[in-house]
Amino acid sequence: MFVKIFTPKNTKRVLYLFLLVGVLLTIFWNFPFNLKVGENDGYIKNFAIFNNTNLYTGIASGTSVVYFLALKFLNFFLNNINNSFFLLNLISQVAFIFIGVKVLNKEKSKESKIIYASVLSLFLVKAFQMKAYSGSSNDYLLSVFIIWILYEIVKSRKNVISDIKIGVLMAISLSIRKSFILFFPLFFILVFDQYKLKNYIKTGVSFLLILLVFHFPAIIENHTLSFYSKEPNSTTYNWITRNYLGLKRIFEQGLVFSSDSVWSYSWTMVEEYTQTAKFIPQSITSVITNDPAVFIKAFFYNVGRNLVWTLRFSGVIAIVPFFYKIKLFNKYLVAYFTFLMIISAVGFTVTEFRWFWGYDILMFLGGYMYLKNIKEKQPKFLIISISLITVLLFNVRTIISLL
């Protein structure tokens, strides 16, 4: 009887309610609209230096190559660093939404239009709360290229142009942020049923050639690629050290598992610790070897946190396949949960949701593909209705808590 309530007609009513609240959420998240860009990880300060340095030296010294080149191009016309960051990240958010819609539309079925509209609405509500224009991080530009690569993969065009394009996009992505290396396991999962040796060769060669072009100064001068570094000027400790000490204190003192709790363990405190400490970790492997309890606890806390985040923005469409009609579990969901597990481990801190930008389309696409392949109508309408209601409850609760 309960399942029968979720008819197409009732699901459409839930969707209309969701869209209404979604509009209110979008206004709430983006109000007040501020043209002032906030400093994040020193990007504004470092771009100012890069902008006044010749390109060869700037790239050789280590930087977010493509991100800073794009900023430099915009700043040439705007002559205002703040406005350059604002415009580039705003364009990134618009492009992210545009390509994301194209990704979902590529798998759109003429049947179950309500299901498609519901999943698309879930994606859009999440995408509009991105608020990329307010920050100075390169995560947003990276998300555009990640979702673009996924679009090329979803198109499944087995030709030279497509293979080369994917290689070029992957090289650009790695030239924006080093963390893009986490995409490589997902790439092999997603193209396993499409690629043959010749496809890998074409993608690989184009990837290496473009990478060489962007990183040529750093390769010549330092024999390495050029990446933006946030590490402190110390050979004794680094971010792994700080994260380890912050996480250890959280678990020992029962503090809230949050980024603020980790960051409250300042660099000054880290330096004081290193004066007398026997164990000063500078890599995840050293933590696993010497204090595995901290690593294991952080991993499971992050997995739980990221699963709740998945529920908050996609409802149960990505979770239900674990328990119902498991045979319909698809490669997009495999890729998404692979990334969730990887980032929960290698991040070795409290994971930040911005790290999921670009990858998050996989939970919507995988959920939609799963629902599309369920033959029975009532179960799929039940799942999507519960998903819409779940996201509503999570986000309305957030608004109330902030009032």
Omega within 30 of 0 (cis) for the link into 217: no
* Residue 3 maps to a domain: no
Tell the residue number behind the tokens 């087995």, with chain if given: 158
Clarify whether residues 281 and 321 are in a common domain. Answer: yes
Tell me the pTM.
Answer: 0.94
Tell the residue number behind the tokens 């080149």, with chain if given: 69
Give the tens place of pLDDT for each residue, 8-62: 788 888 999 999 888 888 888 777 777 889 887 889 999 999 999 999 999 999 9
Clarify whether residues 219 and 249 are in a common domain. Answer: no
How far apart CA 365 and CA 43 sit, in angstroms, is 32
Give the tens place of pLDDT for each residue, 367-387: 999 999 998 888 999 999 999
Amino acid at 183: F
Q: Buried (b) or exposed (e) across 37-49, using 16+ Cβ within 10 A?
A: beeeeebbebbee
Clarify whether residues 47 and 175 are in a common domain. Answer: yes
What share of residues in the chain are helix, strand, coil (percent, to 5)? Answer: 75, 0, 25
Structural domain count of the chain: 2
Clarify whether residues 225 and 237 are in a common domain. Answer: no
Clarify whether residues 131 and 251 are in a common domain. Answer: no
pLDDT category of residue 3 using cuts at 50, 70 and 90: low
Contact 89, 281 (CB under 8 A): no
Q: Among candidates 11, 92, 9, 81, which has minimal Cα distance to 52?
A: 81
Cβ atoms < 10 Å from Cβ of 111: 9
How far apart CA 210 and CA 165 sit, in angstroms, is 11
pLDDT score of 394 more than 60: yes
Clarify whether residues 274 and 135 are in a common domain. Answer: no
Task: Name the percent of the chain lying above pLDDT 70.
Answer: 96
* Residue 29 maps to a domain: no
Q: Considering the chain, what is the average pLDDT of its residues?
A: 92
Q: How many CA atoms lie within 13 A of 286 on its CB side?
A: 11
Is the C-alpha dihedral spanning 160, 161, 165, 168 positive or negative?
A: positive
pLDDT for the residue numbered 330: 95
Q: Among candidates 295, 298, 316, 297, which has minimal Cα distance to 307?
A: 316
Clarify whether residues 337 and 214 are in a common domain. Answer: no
Full domain range(s) for residue 157: 34-230
Clarify whether residues 39 and 92 are in a common domain. Answer: yes
pLDDT score of 399 more than 70: no
Alpha-helical segments (H) within 61-196: 65-78, 81-106, 113-128, 139-155, 160-174, 183-191
DSSP string, 242-311: HHHHHHHHHHHHT---SHHHHHTS-HHHHHHHHHH-S----SHHHHHHH-HHHHHHHHHHHHHHHHHHHH
Q: Give the end of a domain, one of 188, 210, 230.
A: 230
